[in-house]
Amino acid sequence: MTEIEELLAKLKELDPETWSRVDKVLGLVVYQRSPLGHYIIQGVIQEAIAARGWGFYVSTECDNWWDAESISDMEITFAASILLPDDEMYDFWDGLQLEWCRADAPAEALLRAYILALEAEKHGQ
């Protein structure tokens, strides 16, 4: 199982309604690991976040900017974080930094942050 498949399986457990929307569109249109599949996943997750009254950030990150001699040498990843209604930013440890959930694709980073926010909500954190 790929990482995106594992994240979607967690989404199915934590938010079956949102998972159903992702699954329905992906099943009709595209493969989930394709670029179009990622756009669909990200769009559905963004809608789910907005429906909960949460906010989100997605950005690019570069871990080797000080060593890169040119832009093509930069190692770019994507980061996402969820902003909850009380203006308290929930930052989740992903093993690399304490600020944002990171991944190689924006859809994966946002999905990871959304899952962690759902888990925090479930456990009353």
The predicted pLDDT at position 33 comes to 62
Between 63 and 81, name the one with better pLDDT.
Answer: 81
Residue 104's pLDDT is 84
Band of pLDDT at residue 95, cut at 50, 70 and 90: very low
Q: Name the percent of the chain lying above pLDDT 70.
A: 73
Q: Which amino acid is at 36?
A: L
DSSP state letters, 26-94? HHHH--TTSHHHHHHHHHHHHHHHHHTT-EEEEEEEETTTTT-SSGGG--EEEEEEEE-TTS-EE----
Nearest-angstrom CA–CA distance, 24 and 118: 21
> Which of the pair, 84 or 92, is modelled with greater confidence?
84
The residue ranges of every structural domain in the chain are 3-122
Q: What is the pLDDT of residues 14-73, one digit of tens each?
A: 999 999 988 887 765 555 566 788 888 899 999 999 999 888 888 887 776 567 677 676
Per-residue confidence band for 98, with pLDDT thresholds at 50, 70 and 90: very low
User: Alpha carbon of 75 to those of 81, 109, 122: distances in Å?
Assistant: 20, 16, 34
| Closest among 46, 105, 39 to 31, alpha carbons compared | 39
> Would you state the pLDDT for residue 13?
95
pLDDT of residue 86: 58
